[in-house]
Every structure is written in structure tokens, then in C-alpha cells.
Structure 1
Amino acid sequence: MDAQLIAFIGVAAGMVALPGADFTVVVRNALASRAAGVATALGVAGGLLVHTALAVAGLAAVLVTVPALFRTVQLLGGAYVLYLGISALHAARRRTTDGGGPETDQGSDTRRAGGPSVTGTGRALRQGFLTNALNPKAPVLFLSLLPQFVPDGQPPVPRTLLLATVVVLLALIWFPAVALLVDRLGRWLRRPRAARAIEGGSGAALTALGLALVTGPLLH
């Protein structure tokens, strides 16, 4: 039994499940529709695939060791998360002005009245992907975490590829599960008052994360 691999699965599961920008965007879009939530979840997994591929190829090391390049990614990521946050806050404010709208359910794969406005699964997929792919903390995390689970004497590339695959598979399980759970609870979560609270809360969280990335110091 590969004890290091089992330990890594536990660590990676905790890392993937930790609430952050990815989780917030998935929940918010899942309130719009099941399809939007699942598409966002797949986009997040796609972003993780990019980070893990870079780590396997060794390119993440270049990103981390070149301050200007790393700062550029940090600013782009922060600006995008900030944009999502401000959009959510604006939607919450508009929802309050409009009185929340009617509490009708038009089916699992269409926009739900009372839920956030997300136009199409393509946009949701793109939001999930960009939120994760532009996260500047991910290269640092993978570069510091993956080598610790490569046993002495083993070729690093195959082992790192295996570990990277584990991370992506966990994301493909966790984030769609979150989206489906939110959709399952949608009858309560899409009520005007609850929807306003979730939209405003997710907007505040994303805005805070974006501001921290844009105005904060270099992360590494």
C-alpha cells in the first residue's frame, strides 16, 4: 500500500474542498441553474488541470521565480475575481430594488427565477475556468506540495503526473457535487430573501478576495 499516496489524497481533498473563490462561483452559478453550476464546476477542474500540467512540466517554477510574470498573473486574477464580486453585488442590489422577483421554477436546466443571472453554460464554464486558472496561489501551492509526496528514488515526472491527476479527479467529484447539492436545495435557496443574501455574501467574498490580490504584496 502506498502510504504517501493515501496521505496525499487526504491533503488534496482538503485543499480542493477548502472554501474560496472557486467554491463561491460554483455556488452562485448553481443557483441560476443546475447546468450553469455543473459547467462552472467543470471549468474549475479545467483550471486545475492547467496548474497541474504546468507543475508537471516545470513551468510553474518559472512563473514563481520571475516576479514580474508572477505579479502580472496575480493582478489579472485579482481583477477578474473583483469583477465577479462587483457584478454579484450589483445583482444583489438590483434584486433588492426589484423586490426579488417571482418565486417560480422553470426547470432544472433553465435560469431559475430568484437565482443569479448567468447567460448560458458557456459563460459559466468560462467563469469557473478563469477563476481557477488565474489564481496566483496555485503555482506556489503545487510547487511546494507535490514534491513532498514523491518518494526518494522514484522518477519525479510520472509520480508528479499521478499526483496531479488525483487533484483534478477530486475536483471533478467535489465541485459538481456542490453544484448538484445547491440545485437540490434550490427551492429554499432561491427564495428572494435567501437569494439576495447569497448573492450579496458571495459578491462581498469575491470582492474581498479580488482586492486582496490586486492591492496585496507579491504572494511568494
Structure 2
Amino acid sequence: MDGQLIAFTGLAAGLVAMPGADFTVVVRNALVSRRAGLACALGITAGLLVHTALAVAGLAAVLAAVPALFRALQLLGGAYVLYLGLRTLRALRRPSAALADEAASGGRPLRQGFLTNALNPKASLTFLSVLPQFVPAGSPAMPRTLLLALIVVVLALLWFHAVALLVDRLGRWLRGPRAARVVEGVTGGALTVLGAVLLLEPVLAA
């Protein structure tokens, strides 16, 4: 592995592990069950795959060139994260068993993870700006960019699955009725705040 790949892997690991809506959604689902946490982690990785594919194809440049489209996606993503937060807080009124059944039902964790990540246009722009910096001058851009994108996806797959497994193990002490409601309240509040920030950012920037 050359020096540039080592540097990129370190940078990508930092970007992937940065706490945010993705991390919070994985934690929330992993506290419901290991299966829900892993499904959510897989959904986030799939969403990240969309962003890296857009960056490789150059389509992310369209978001940078069309501010209205970028802001619309920001608002949509913020609204979804806010919805998840408010929905989590509202669900605290229900019995704990009903809450767990609802969160783990069907493909909901997978869908939550995918939409939380895929609806964040900043991810596409981040990779669009970062990937070209690690393509050596004179070398074919496409194969190298695909390799860099693959590194990002693999790191995300490993990181979020590790988070889900760790939270699931710690969750044995956090899944009591009282503790579970406290954790749900904290994650719901965090998602609500993150969603509000994501919604306000494009409005204040306009």
C-alpha cells in the first residue's frame, strides 16, 4: 500500500467514525436488538455506497453547481432525521415491548440507516472534494477513484457493524425498562436536534 492510500485510509476512517445522525441511528437500533443494529449499519453502508458512486461518476458536481437542488436535498434529509427524532420521543409513551417490536419490525432499521445517510448531500460533496486529492498525477483516475471509494465503503461496513455489536453487548445492562427509556429519550433528543440543525442550516444560508 502506498503512502497516499495510507493517508487516505486514515482520513476516511476519521470521516466515517465522526459522530452524527448515522452513529445515533445505529446506537438506537442496536439497543433494540443486535439484528436491528446490524441491519441499520448495513443500510448506512448502502447509503454511503450511493455517495461514493455519485462522486466517482462526477454526478456530485451537479449538487455543487445547482445550489437549489443541494438545499432541497439538505431540507429533505434534515426533515427525515427530525422525523426520526420526534417519532422516537413520541414512542416513549408506548410500552417498552411495543417500542422494541416497532423498531425491529420488517426492514425498518435497514431503511432508516439507508435514508439517514443517503439523504445527506454533504457526504457526496465531501467525497467529491477529497477523492481527487489522492489520485496520483498521470495515473488513470477511474480505477484509483474506485479503489478509494471501496476503501470508504469497507471502513463504514466495519465501523458501524462494530458499533452495533458493541452497543448490543453493552445493551444487556441498558435494556431494562427504565434505562431503555432514558436511552431512547437521549437518542431521540439527539436526532431531533441534529434534524433541526440540518433544516435550519440551508434556510439560514439562503
- Whether these two folds match at TM > 0.5 is yes
Shift of 1:214: 1.3
Partner of 1:77 in structure 2?
Answer: 77
CA distance in 2, matches of 1:58, 1:138: 13
The answer to whether the 8 A contact 2:29-2:104 is kept is no
Q: Which runs of structure 1 show a deviation greater than 3 angstroms over 4 or more consecutive aligned residues?
A: 112-117
2:53 counterpart letter in structure 1: A
Residue-by-residue CA offset, 1:58-96 (whole Å, 9 max, x unaligned): 00001121011111111110110000010111123x16x
1:122 to 107, 126, 132: 107
Number of residue-to-residue matches in the alignment: 205
- Runs (5+) with no aligned partner, structure 2: none
- The DSSP-based 3-state class of the residue aligned with 2:103 is coil
Larger helix percent:
2
**Mapping 1:10-21, distance limit 5 Å:** 10-21=10-21
**Mapping 1:72-151, distance limit 5 Å:** 72-92=72-92, 94=93, 101=96, 115=100, 117-151=102-136
Partner of 1:67 in structure 2?
Answer: 67
- Runs (5+) with no aligned partner, structure 1: 102-111
Query: Mean Cα displacement is larger for which, 116-125 or 72-81?
Result: 116-125
Partner of 1:55 in structure 2?
Answer: 55
1:202 to 187, 197, 200: 187
Q: How well do the aligned residues superpose, as a CA RMSD in angstroms?
A: 2.0
Cα distance change on mapping 1:116 and 1:122 into 2, 3 Å: closer
What's the TM-score once normalised by structure 2's chain length? 0.92
What's the TM-score once normalised by structure 1's chain length? 0.87
Partner of 1:183 in structure 2?
Answer: 168
Cα distance change on mapping 1:116 and 1:2 into 2, 3 Å: farther
Aligned-pair identity (%): 70
Query: Mean Cα displacement is larger for which, 79-88 or 149-158?
Result: 149-158
